[in-house]
Chains A and B, each alone.
Chain A
Amino acid sequence: MITVRDLLRFSPSFRYGAIILMVVVVLIILSYFSPFEPDDRRAVPRNEPPSFEYLLGTTSTGQDVFWMLTFAIRNTMIIAGVAVIIGRTIGVLLGMISGYVGGTLDRVLSSIVDSVIVIPRLPLVILIASILRGQITIITLAVLIGILDWAYPSKRYRAQIFSLREREFTQTAVFAGMNTFKIVVQEHLPFLIPFLLADMVSGFLFAIGFEVTLSILGLSDLNAQSIGTMIYWGNYYQALLSKQIWVLAAPIAASVLIVVGFYLMSIGLGTYLDPRTRLKRLEVRG
C-alpha cells in the first residue's frame, strides 16, 4: 500500500507541493496569533516598504501586510474549500448518476444541468450580490460560489464515464460477471480519481478566481480580509500607480503559491494512484 512517506520520497512534485502547502498551513495558524485585528486600521505607519519590522510592508490604511495576508489566506481557503466541497459533491453525484444510469433519468438530469449552465454566472452573482445588499459574509460567498460550479464539472464527469463505459475492460468485467458497484469502484475509479483531482484543482482555482473577481468589483465582504479584498483595497489606494507594489504582490504571490501547491500535490497523487502510469513510471526508473 502506498504511504505518504513513499509519496514524499519518490514523487518530486508531491514533495514540493506538500512543502508549499505546509507553509500555507503555517501561515494560517499564524493568523490566530496575529498582534493585530484584521480590521484594525492605523495600527502601523502607512505606506512603509518591506523591512525587518514590517516583513511585507504596510498599506495606505496603516495595516501590516504580512499579518493581513495570514488572515487573507485563512479566509480565502475557507471560502474556496467550502465552495469546492459543495460544488464537486453535487457535480460528481449528478455526473455519475447520469453517466451510469442513463436513459430517461440521464435525459432529465441533463436538461436540468443544461438549464442551469446556460445562465451566465458572473452577471447572476453580481445581481445576487446586489440583492443581498452588502450583507454578504464569508460563508455566504462560499456557498454562492459552490452553487455556481457544479454544472460544468458534472457534464465533464458524465462525458468521462460515457467514455469509460464503452472501453474494453469494462465490457470484459461485465462479461466476467462483476457487479456494477465493483466495476465502478475497481475499474473506473482509478481513472476517475486523477481526473477528479485535476478537476478539484480547477475548482479551487475557479473559487479563488471568482472570489477575487467579486471582491474587485466590490461585491463581497469588504471588511473581511481575503486575497480578493486585499487586492481590491490595494487598487483602491492605487498601489501600482504609486509604486507600492508590495501591497499587491503579496496577495498575488500567495494565491499563485496556494494553487501551485495543490496542483503539484494532485499530480503526485494522481500519477501514483493511476495503476497504468505506475507501470510506466517503474519502467522508466529501471
Chain B
Amino acid sequence: MARKVLFLLLLVLILAPAGVSVAQGPSGLPVDVPREELFVADQIYRFSSGIGNYNLWSNGDQPHRHALMMETLWLRDMETGELIMDVAISGPEYNDDFTQMNVNLREGIFWSDGVEFTADDLVYTIETIRANPDMPASGGWASQLNQYVDTVEKTGDYSVQFNLTESNPRFHTLFEARWNGIYMMPKHIFETVEDPVTFRFENPVVLGAYVPTQFDPNGYWELFERREDWERTPSGIITGNPGPKYILLIFYGDSAKKAIAMSRGELDVYFDVDYEAFQTTLDTTPTARSWYTEFPWAYPNEVDARNFDFNFESEPLFQNKDVRWALALSLNIVELQTEYIGGVAKVTMMPIPPTQLLSRLYHEPMQEWLNNLEIEIEPGEMFKPYDPTVPDQIAAWAEEQGYTVPGDPVDVFGYGWWKYAPDVAERLLLKNGFTRDGNGKWLKPDGTPWTIDLQSPPDENDAFRMGTAAADMWSDFGIQVNLQGLERSVWDQNRFVGQYQMSTPWFTFVLPSGDSWPQIRGWHPQYYVPNGEDFRSKGGGTAFRLNDPKIGEMIDAMAALSPDSEENVQAVIELSKYWVENMYSITAISFKKFVTWDQRYWTGFPTSENPNYMPLYWFQGGKFAFQNLTPVTQ
C-alpha cells in the first residue's frame, strides 16, 4: 500500500511541471515587465565577474553594459569613422608640440542621482586611477596616465587641462572609446568610499541613460531601466530619443539557442550567429532582418580582418618570401568567400578592412599601385599578382545562386585580391628547391614531405571555415595540411608562446579612425621575444615573431605624427605596401557580423538603407543603436 502511494506521488511530481507549463504559456523571459516597453538584447556571454558589482573600474567592463551606463570623452563610430562627442563638447585641443591638451565638456548633463557632471569629476577620475594602479580593470590606464600625465587641473567648471610629461599626439585616444575608454567616475560617491579598488558599487550612480535594476546572480541576464531624466545624458541629447523603457540583456547560449529565442519572440537582437542558424532565423522569423534585407545580409564593416599568419620561427621555410607568395597564390579567394563563407563578407588583401572611411583613405589610393605590383618568378620574368575582378566574380556567383547584389560589387565585396595562380605558385616553389614526389605531393628542399600545421578555433566561425578552406585548397595543391580545431584558450596559449606554424588570427593595422600606430607599436623589433616565451613578456605584440628593423623604422616614424594628419595616412600606406610586397600575412576577409534585429516590437535600428549609427551595440560607441529605438506602432 505504501509503495503504491509512493508511486503515485512520484508520478504527480513528474507530471506537475508539465501541467504548470501548459498553464503558464511559452514566455521564458525571466522578468515581469510589459513586453512592449522591453527591448531584449543578446548578452553575448554569461557574466562571470561583476555580478551585482558595478565598480567597472575595478571589475572590468562587460560589453553593452558599459555602453548603457558609462560615458567617456569621445566615441568613435566604426561605420563612419567619425569622432562623436560624448561627454566632451569639442575635439581634443593640443598645443603645438603636443605637450598640453585641453578639453571642453558638455554642460547640463547629470548623474542619475541628480548631481551635475562637472570638470571635477574628470579630474577626480584621473587622479584616482593614477593613485590606484592595482585596480585590475584599470591597470592599463593607470600605467599610461602615470607615464604621460604630469598634471591635470580644471580650468573652469566645464574645462580641463592636461599637462603631459612628453610629446604625445595620441594622448586623447585614452578617452576615445572604440571598445572602451577611461570612464567618468562620480566624484561625489567615490570620495566617500574607503577603498576604490574593493568598493562594490552595488547601487550604481551612472552618467549614461540606463540604470541597472535587476540582475541574475548566475550571470545570465541583467535588466536596465531608463532614467526619468534621459534628456540630461549624452546619448539622450545626441539621439533626441527616449529609447526603450527597459532593456534586458540575456545570454541564451550558442547560435542555435539564439535563433530559437528570436523565433519565440524572446530576443530582439543578437550580435552574431553562424551561417546556418541565421538561415533558420530568416525562415522562422519573417520580422527579423540584418544589415541588408537580402543577400548578403551581414554587417560587413566591423574594423578587423581575418588573416593567416606565419610563425617565422617554427618553420624557417616561412622566412622565404617566395614560399609565402606561393601559399597566397594557391588559394582561390572566390571559392573561399563563396563556398565556405557563404558570400557574406568582404575580401581584403591587406589587414585593413574596406569600410567607408578606410576605403577612402587606403584602398582607393592604393589600387593603382596594386594593379602595377609585380613579383619575380624568374630573374627577368615578372608576374602581376593582383586581381581587381574578384568582386565581379563573386557577384557572378551570387547571381547564379539567385541573389541580387545590392549595389556595386566593389562596395559589397571589397576591392580585389590575389589571382588564383597555382602554376605560378608551383614555379616559385620549384625555384626554391621544392620538388614533387610521385603522388604530386610537395617535398621540402631537404626532401621531407611538406606538412603545414594550421591551428584554428572552431568557435570562431569565420576563422575556422577560412581555415577549412585553406586546408582543402592547399591539400589539392599538394601540401599536406593538418588542420587542428583547438579549444579557444588552448589556441590562445599556443599563440602566446609561439607553439604553432600557421594560425588564423584576426587583427588589423588600423583603428576605425584610420590611425595605425597604437595597433602596431608592439611589432617593433625592440619588443621581439623568441618562440617559447610569451610574446608579451616585453610588452610586445607579434605572436608570429616578426623581427624586421624596417618595420621598426616605420613605427618610429609614425609615433611622432599626429593621427589626423595627411603624413600619417601616407605612413600607413607605406607600411601597407611593404607588408603586402613581403606577404607577411595572408589576409583573406574582413569581419562580418549577422547583427539581426527583430521588428516585432521595436524599430529604428541601423540598416544599410539607414546607417544612422553603427549596429555593433557591444562596443561603447554602440549605445546609440539602442537609444534610437522606437516602438512599433500597432
Binding site for B on A (CB under 8 A): 41-42, 60-61, 129-130, 133-134, 217-219, 222-223, 235-238, 240-242
Interface SS of chain B: helix
- Picked from A130, A134, A219, the residue with its CB within 8 Å of the CB of B484 is A134
Minimal Cβ-Cβ distance residue in B for A217 = B487
Chain B residues with Cβ below 8 Å from A129 are 487
Chain A residues with Cβ below 8 Å from B260 are 241
- Picked from A60, A130, A134, A217, the residue with its CB within 8 Å of the CB of B276 is A60
Nearest 10 A/B pairs, CB to CB: A238-B276, A241-B280, A134-B484, A222-B485, A134-B486, A242-B276, A130-B490, A238-B277, A241-B256, A133-B490
Chain A residues with Cβ below 8 Å from B280 are 238, 241-242
Minimal Cβ-Cβ distance residue in A for B278 = A238
Q: In the complex, A20→B566 CA distance in Å?
A: 75
Chain B residues with Cβ below 8 Å from A133 are 486, 490, 493-494, 499
Minimal Cβ-Cβ distance residue in B for A237 = B276
Q: List 19 A-B contacts (CB under 8 A).
A: A41-B468, A60-B276, A129-B487, A130-B487, A130-B489, A130-B490, A133-B486, A133-B499, A134-B455, A134-B484, A134-B486, A218-B458, A219-B487, A236-B274, A236-B458, A238-B255, A238-B276, A240-B256, A242-B276
Chain A residues with Cβ below 8 Å from B493 are 133
Chain B residues with Cβ below 8 Å from A240 are 256
Tell me if B274 and A238 are in contact (CB < 8 A): yes
For the complex formed, measure the closest distance between the CB of A228 and the CB atoms of chain B, giving whole angstroms.
13
Chain B residues with Cβ below 8 Å from A218 are 458-459, 485, 487
For the complex formed, measure the closest distance between the CB of A81 and the CB atoms of chain B, giving whole angstroms.
26
For the complex formed, measure the closest distance between the CB of A115 and the CB atoms of chain B, giving whole angstroms.
28
Chain A residues with Cβ below 8 Å from B452 are none
- Picked from A134, A219, A238, the residue with its CB within 8 Å of the CB of B256 is A238
For the complex formed, measure the closest distance between the CB of B508 and the CB atoms of chain A, giving whole angstroms.
27
List CB contacts (< 8 Å) of B418-465 with chain A.
Answer: 455, 458-459
- One digit per residue, 1 when the CB lies within 8 angstroms of any chain A CB and 0 when it does not, for chain B 513-552 equals 0000000000000000000000000000000000000000
Minimal Cβ-Cβ distance residue in B for A46 = B339
- Interface membership of B580, Cβ < 8 A: no
Chain A residues with Cβ below 8 Å from B499 are 133
For the complex formed, measure the closest distance between the CB of A197 and the CB atoms of chain B, giving whole angstroms.
31
Minimal Cβ-Cβ distance residue in B for A235 = B256
For the complex with contacts A61-B468, A133-B499, A218-B458, 5 further pairs of A-B residues with Cβ separation under 8 Å are A41-B472, A42-B472, A130-B489, A222-B485, A242-B276
- One digit per residue, 1 when the CB lies within 8 angstroms of any chain A CB and 0 when it does not, for chain B 242-281 equals 0000000000000110011000000000000010110110
Minimal Cβ-Cβ distance residue in B for A60 = B276
Chain B residues with Cβ below 8 Å from A134 are 455, 484-487, 490
Minimal Cβ-Cβ distance residue in A for B472 = A41
- Interface membership of B483, Cβ < 8 A: yes
Q: In the complex, A240→B280 CA distance in Å?
A: 10
Residue from A217, A235, A237 whose CB has the most chain B CB atoms within 10 Å: A237
